[in-house]
């Protein structure tokens, strides 16, 4: 016989029904064709991990804030690159106007 697999959504739905205490554990188990022990295990696991919801929210907020900082820094650096590119192009143009088109040969004293 193939082992049944349940989705997290289904488990959550059933455990929340159990926590509402509108129906007894055995009644819910038979209604969903699940063993009572399985429901107890799901409930225990659910309650043990409930605090993670709030911890992960805090971590996610921290990660989003860090991501925003990195994005802002990236945008600032890209703006600086653009500014320096424009300045460099302007200096090349002015150098060619003042010193002539072969200005690079006059100032590039490479020993290679």
User: What are the residue ranges spanned by the domains of the chain?
Assistant: 1-48
Model confidence band, residue 59 (pLDDT cutoffs 50, 70, 90) = confident
Between CA 81 and CA 96 the distance in angstroms is 22
What whole-number distance in Å separates Cα of residue 49 and Cα of residue 43? 10
pTM of the model: 0.49
Q: What is the number of other CB atoms lying within 10 angstroms of the CB of residue 7?
A: 8
For the chain, what is the mean pLDDT? Answer: 89
The DSSP string of the chain is -PPP---HHHHHHHHHHHHHTSS-HHHHHHHTT--HHHHHHHHHHHHHTHHHHHHHHHHHHHHHHHHHHHHHHHHHHHHHHHHHHHHHHHHHHHHHHHH-TTHHHHH-----
Q: Is pLDDT above 70 for 108?
A: yes
The confidence score (pLDDT) of residue 57 equals 74
pLDDT band, very low/low/confident/very high, at 76 (cuts 50, 70, 90): very high
Give the pLDDT band (50/70/90) at residue 82.
Answer: very high
Helix axes 8-20, 36-48, angle to 10 degrees: 90
For residue 52, the model assigns a pLDDT of: 81
Whether the per-residue pLDDT at 66 is higher than 60: the answer is yes
What mean pLDDT do residues 47-74 have?
87
Contact 7, 32 (CB under 8 A): no
pLDDT of residue 72: 96
What number is the average pLDDT over the span 52-64?
A: 80
């Amino acid at each position: 016989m193939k082992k049944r697999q349940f989705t997290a959504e289904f488990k959550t739905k059933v455990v929340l029904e159990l926590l509402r205490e509108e129906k007894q554990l055995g009644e819910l188990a038979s209604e969903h064709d699940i063993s009572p022990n399985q429901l107890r295990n799901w409930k225990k696991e659910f309650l043990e991990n409930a605090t993670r919801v709030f911890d992960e929210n805090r971590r996610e907020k921290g990660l989003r804030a860090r991501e925003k900082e990195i994005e802002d820094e990236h945008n600032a650096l890209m703006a600086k690159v653009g500014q320096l590119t424009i300045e460099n192009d302007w200096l090349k143009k002015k150098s060619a106007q003042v010193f002539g088109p072969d200005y690079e040969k006059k100032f590039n004293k490479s020993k290679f």
